[in-house]
Structures are given as structure tokens and as C-alpha cells.
Amino acid sequence: MRKVELNLRIIEALTGLSTTGFYDIEDADDPVAEIISQNNVGGVVHKHLTVIGLNPAFWERTKWEFALVPSSQSMRLAIAYVLKNMTVKYKNR
């Protein structure tokens, strides 16, 4: 995966974390999930786990068995703040 594509997926995942509190992923080894987890922004959960704050109905809307969730509500707010105030510029997509 090219760096630009990876960065766009990270922004997409962070947007999901800040707006809905989750971002579904196909595999726990997803590179976006690894980056977000390594930076303590969020973590990977499996659909058979009980996750406080994650509505069980979420799993009915996705075909994947894994999701990213923010590490805390304050992290979710921090993600939203950063996304709101950032400018992304890419050349030659």
C-alpha cells in the first residue's frame, strides 16, 4: 500500500472513530489498526467481545468481525479536534 493511500485510510479511520466511535476493519492485522494501536489512539476489538460504549447493533451493519474503537471518550474528542483543524494536501494521487 502506498503511503498516500495509507494516510487516507488512517484519516478515514480516525474520522469514523471520532464521529461514530468505531471503524470496522477486515482483519486485526490491518496496517491502519496497527498504527492507531501503536499510538494508543484506539484498539482492535472482536465482535464476540463485550465493549462498553459500543452498541451491539453495530455488528449487524458490518460484514467484518473486527473493529477499531477509540481508547477513551477524551481521545475521541481529541481526534475530532485535530481532524477539524487539519489541512491535507496530496499531489499526484
The string of pLDDT tens digits covering residues 43-64 is: 999 988 887 777 788 888 888 9
Helices and strands counted in the chain (H then E): 3, 3
CA distances 87 to 50, 84, 90, Å, are: 36, 9, 10
Angle of helix 3-19 relative to helix 31-38, nearest 10 degrees? 60
pLDDT at 93 over 80: no
**Per-residue pLDDT band at 90 (split at 50, 70, 90):** low
Question: What is the per-residue pLDDT for 60?
Answer: 85
Distance (Å, rounded) from C-alpha 81 to C-alpha 74? 11
The pTM score is 0.84
Which region holds residue 30: left if phi is over 0, alpha if psi is between -120 and 50, else beta? beta
